[in-house]
Amino acid sequence: MFNQEEDFFYPDLFEIRNVEFKGQINKEKGTILIPCADCPEISDSDSIYQIIGNNKRIIKISDYNFRKGGSLGTSENNPNMLTLYIDTNSSKLSNNITIGSISGSGIQVGNSNNQNIDVNLQQLVQEIANSEDEEAKNILRKLFENSTVASLIGVGVASLITYL
């Protein structure tokens, strides 16, 4: 569908109303250049997708311009140029991610990643105390009886043990 020259000049892939187009995004200028044979159906304030692997980035269009012969011969089958003016703050990847059989949102995949989870110590103790897991209660009790842990937590350790 696309030749090597088009791939060089227009390395990005976009979807406008379920039709794929090669193009070139310039976030600094806030533009997307898309060579095309005819102007696709588009209007101000439309959204299009930038296709990145299996993901789609939503891009909001603020304005557009269509020039006959505007591709300057860089695209053999697409002599015209569609210039889209974009809101560079609106670009975001869609939330659903699918990797093999893993799917959902809020998923973190990769090497050496960190995921911070804030849990209040009192909340943790209360949740364990309310559970029926005697092993977890005993481990937590032993942890709080440790002199190093007790010195780090301070006076609050006594009140936390009462939950158990």
Sign of CA dihedral 76, 77, 80, 81: negative
Count of domains forming the chain = 2
Residue with the larger pLDDT of the pair 124 and 82 = 82
Enumerate residues 6+ apart whose C-beta is below 8 A from 69. 79, 80
Residue 148 confidence class, pLDDT cut points 50, 70, 90: confident
Residue numbers of the domain that contains 26: 4-96
Same domain, 13 and 92: yes
Closest to 9 (Cα-Cα) out of 31, 41, 35, 48: 35
Higher pLDDT, 44 or 21: 21
Nearest to 35 by CA among 26, 52, 22, 47: 22
The answer to whether residue 106 sits within a structural domain is no
Residue 104 maps to a domain: no
pTM score, whole prediction: 0.51
Q: What is the mean pLDDT of the segment spanning 51-80?
A: 84
Does residue 110 fall inside a structural domain? no
Same-domain check for residues 21 and 86: yes
| 85 and 130 housed in the same domain | no
Domain boundary among 48, 79, 96: 96
Same domain, 86 and 46: yes
Residue 85: pLDDT band (50, 70, 90) is very high
Is the same domain home to 38 and 85? Answer: yes
Residue where a domain terminates, one of 59, 79, 96: 96
Asked if pLDDT for residue 93 goes beyond 50, the answer is no
85 and 140 both lie in a single domain: no
Residues 139 and 89 reside in one and the same domain: no
| Residue 59 within any structural domain of the chain | yes
CA 58/CA 55 separation, integer angstroms: 10
